[in-house]
Chain A
Amino acid sequence: MRKFDLVHYCKYVLLLIATATVLFPPYVVWVNAFKGKNESTNPFAWPKSFLHMDNFIDVFTQASMGTAFMNTLIIIVVSIVGNVLLGTMSAYALGRFNFRGKQLVLFGFLAATIVPTITTQVVVFSLIKSLGLFNTLGAPILLFVGADVIQIYIYLQFITNIPYELDESAMIDGASLFRIYRSIIFPMLGPATATLVILKTINIYNEMYIPFLYMPKKSLVVVSTSIMRFAGVNQAEWGAICAAILIIMIPTAALYLFLQKFIFSGVTSGAVKS
């Protein structure tokens, strides 16, 4: 029954072309990250040795990437703890109770998602300055916690799937509402939290403009701005720049490969909802 199927082979050809296109730039970066200063400038020529780590060491120290990773980590951890707490709490309040003004709050969160963050920086900038947070880690943390409300949606979607009978039976046992939130709702939102933590980690790790604008101080470099500063003064030093690109890309790529299931479910549910 199964004869030569042209369409079937075309599919593979297209997929292979796409795969090659996706992997081509990272491949070139990988090859050139190991080249010494006086090796071939042909981007396709292989380095003398793939164990030549000088570029990595140079760029790691010169672009102060140790500090950058540390700062990024602090921002990610604090912001995400804030996001998870505020997200689960709002989802509990909005998903379980009816009260006056509920629709207004829901609409407020929804409408906020269409305001592009960069456009409001004109005003937010003076706000952050007057709060005394300019050139502190507090600026990006506050903005990542306060200005991005997408987590509320992921949680709201999830909380409707937790049967209300659980709340009711806990109430019969005399549990307080706070206890219900802490011991039933919060743990049951676990899968949503996992998705959120991963997506947020990637988002914050990749964010460039907020750290660039609010933390010009040298010691407050983050991953995204470290490579910008380095490339700004070392233009066309491709070996070192390629090494920096690899150093930056590997953590998220690893996270993605191990935790892809959560990422895909987060992306699909988030998009289909809106």
Chain B
Amino acid sequence: MNGISYKTQKIIIVFGFLIIPVVLLSTFTYYPAVKMMYLSFTSWDGYSDAASWIGFDNYKEIFTNSELFGVFAHHLPYVLVGIVQNAAAIVFAVILNSKLRGRNGFRVILFLPFIMNAVAVAFMFQYVFDTQNGSLNVLLNFIGIGKISWLGNQSLVNFSLALIGFWKFMGYNMVIYLGALQAISGDMYEAAKIDGANRFQTLWHLTLPNLTKIIQLNMFLTVSGALGVFDLPFVLTKGGPAGASETFLFKTVETAFQFNNFGLASAMSIVLLVMTVLILGVQNLVINGRGEAR
């Protein structure tokens, strides 16, 4: 390549280095997204050559069939638990950001669940939640609480599953908050101290305001994560009991790969995608709006 001018080399490099990633990106992200949009207006069954156009029928089906739209109610426990999870993550991040013996050890342990294999974690909690031999019921038995069917009770199952998410992701949120906390300069704390601020004033007026942006980011991750719950019910409950733990994505996958209704499943995917983008948009609006107000 040495004989060629840098201008030509630049063209070769830019083209040669980007062509594969761009082709892969187009093939596996954008082509499917566009194709999905088209399929969402058809009744394609997944293998026929022709897909018949049915207009907005799939979308009508999603928003009128309570069996489809109704599953969004199953996501609420995940959102609620997710909010508590973020609050806990902030508390522990603030604790671990102070002078403390064994700080790193605690951080390592609290983050540990995040790197664990999700399927193994699911089975681990199946054992914890088991009605007969589960460690949770045995533990509760000590304090006189009878056997609870954690995964078999329709109104409890989503909370039980969401708690697994809490266990797995609290440390992850915490590490992100901790990173943000460590980015606040020590001078500001010095200044607050000189001004005579006590610990809680410092926390309320200095630490938390500096965290708003990252709290919003984490909330976005939490809400979009709650909308995208799939693994846990898929592995643990298969959507049961009586469909009580089915999530929207679970339904989508079932609609496509079990009922071969790829048209409807595509429409459901698009709905989920649009909702994710909307949440992201609202979040950006909130962050930027606040930035201008200051």
Chains A and B form a bound pair: yes
Please give the residue numbers on chain A whose beta carbons come within 8 Å of chain B beta carbons, in ascending order: 7, 11-12, 14-15, 18-19, 21-26, 28-29, 32, 41-44, 86, 89-90, 92-94, 97, 99, 105, 108-109, 112, 114-116, 118-127, 142-143, 145-147, 149, 152, 171, 174, 176-179, 181, 202, 205-206, 208-209, 213, 223-225, 227-228, 231, 236, 238, 241-242, 244-245, 248-249, 252-253, 255-257, 260, 263-264, 267-268, 271-272, 274
Among B13-21, B53-61, B185-193, the stretch that binds chain A is B13-21
Verify if B162 is at the interface (C-beta below 8 Å from A).
no
Say whether A146 contacts B117, CB under 8 Å. no
Q: From known contacts A114-B276, A115-B273, A272-B214, infer whether A120 and B13 are also in contact, taking CB-CB under 8 Å.
A: no
Verify if B115 is at the interface (C-beta below 8 Å from A).
yes
Q: CA–CA, A260 to B24, complex, Å?
A: 31
Q: CA–CA, A42 to B199, complex, Å?
A: 46
Cβ contacts under 8 Å, B171 to chain A: 22
Say whether B109 contacts A29, CB under 8 Å. no
Cβ contacts under 8 Å, A274 to chain B: 217
Mask of B165-181 contacts with A, CB within 8 angstroms, 1/0: 00100011001101110
Q: CA–CA, A252 to B115, complex, Å?
A: 7
Say whether B127 contacts A238, CB under 8 Å. yes
Cβ contacts under 8 Å, A105 to chain B: 18, 22
Say whether B176 contacts A272, CB under 8 Å. yes
The residue that B25 contacts in the complex, of A125, A146, A171, A257, with Cβ under 8 A, is A146
Q: CA–CA, A25 to B125, complex, Å?
A: 7
Say whether A248 contacts B117, CB under 8 Å. yes
Cβ contacts under 8 Å, A227 to chain B: 119-120, 123
Say whether B25 contacts A149, CB under 8 Å. yes
- Per the 8 Å Cβ criterion, residues 90-120 of B in contact with A are 91-92, 95-96, 98, 100, 106-113, 115-120
- Minimum CB–CB distance from A192 to chain B (whole Å) comes to 16
Verify if B33 is at the interface (C-beta below 8 Å from A).
yes
Say whether B115 contacts A202, CB under 8 Å. yes
Among B1-9, B73-81, B148-156, B285-293, the stretch that binds chain A is B1-9
Q: From known contacts A121-B253, A126-B46, A274-B217, infer whether A25 and B124 are also in contact, taking CB-CB under 8 Å.
A: yes
Verify if B52 is at the interface (C-beta below 8 Å from A).
no
Q: CA–CA, A181 to B256, complex, Å?
A: 44
Say whether A90 contacts B277, CB under 8 Å. no
Say whether A120 contacts B269, CB under 8 Å. yes
Q: From known contacts A42-B138, A145-B24, A208-B235, infer whether A93 and B133 are also in contact, taking CB-CB under 8 Å.
A: no
The residue that B35 contacts in the complex, of A21, A94, A123, A171, with Cβ under 8 A, is A123
The residue that A252 contacts in the complex, of B95, B116, B134, with Cβ under 8 A, is B116
Say whether A93 contacts B46, CB under 8 Å. no
Q: A14-B95, A127-B32 are in contact. List 13 more A-B contacts (CB 8 A).
A: A15-B92, A43-B133, A86-B24, A89-B18, A112-B25, A118-B253, A120-B269, A174-B2, A176-B9, A181-B13, A225-B119, A253-B116, A256-B115
Cβ contacts under 8 Å, A231 to chain B: 123
Cβ contacts under 8 Å, B46 to chain A: 126
Verify if B29 is at the interface (C-beta below 8 Å from A).
yes
Q: From known contacts A253-B115, A268-B176, A272-B176, infer whether A147 and B13 are also in contact, taking CB-CB under 8 Å.
A: no
27 A-B pairs with C-beta separation under 8 A: A15-B106, A22-B167, A89-B20, A90-B17, A93-B17, A108-B25, A115-B273, A119-B36, A120-B29, A120-B269, A122-B36, A122-B262, A123-B32, A127-B31, A181-B13, A205-B117, A208-B119, A209-B230, A224-B118, A228-B119, A231-B123, A236-B133, A253-B115, A253-B116, A256-B112, A267-B172, A267-B176
Q: Which of A122, A236, A249, A268 has the most CB of B within 10 A?
A: A122
Verify if B128 is at the interface (C-beta below 8 Å from A).
yes
Say whether A108 contacts B30, CB under 8 Å. yes
Say whether A22 contacts B21, CB under 8 Å. no
- Minimum CB–CB distance from B192 to chain A (whole Å) comes to 16
Verify if B265 is at the interface (C-beta below 8 Å from A).
yes
Q: CA–CA, A241 to B134, complex, Å?
A: 13
Verify if B67 is at the interface (C-beta below 8 Å from A).
no
Say whether B14 contacts A93, CB under 8 Å. yes
Q: CA–CA, A120 to B270, complex, Å?
A: 9
